[in-house]
């Protein structure tokens, strides 16, 4: 079987191949296609959101302002604070 893809997609596939250390572009294409098919078949979107809903959430995040740096201890503290506020108070 032969597949014809755009030059841009071929370049992205080659980058993924190099990044993953796969020996050939055919191996990379087979792996990525199989992974995508498996994800589609298993309903990988465990949130149950449509592609449009996901796009909307991505756009909302991108438009939400300047990114804020975070670290694990501060996130853990925020989770505890919210949990306590909801359950204790």
Question: Considering the entire predicted model, what is its pTM?
Answer: 0.43
- pLDDT value of residue 46: 63
DSSP 67: -
Give the integer Cα–Cα distance in Å for 24 and 28: 6
Question: Is residue 15 within 8 Å of 25, Cβ to Cβ?
Answer: no
DSSP 66: S
**89 pLDDT above the threshold of 70:** no
Q: Of 44 and 6, which is predicted with more confidence? A: 6
Give the integer Cα–Cα distance in Å for 34 and 57: 27
Q: Average pLDDT of 9-28?
A: 91
């Amino acid at each position: 079987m032969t597949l014809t893809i755009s030059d841009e997609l071929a370049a992205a596939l080659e980058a993924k191949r190099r990044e993953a250390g796969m020996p050939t572009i055919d191996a990379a294409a087979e792996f990525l296609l199989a992974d995508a098919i498996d994800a589609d078949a298993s309903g990988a979107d465990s949130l149950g959101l449509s592609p449009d809903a996901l796009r909307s959430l991505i756009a909302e995040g991108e438009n939400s302002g300047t990114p804020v740096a975070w670290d694990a201890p501060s996130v853990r503290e925020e989770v505890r604070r919210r949990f306590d506020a909801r359950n204790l108070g």
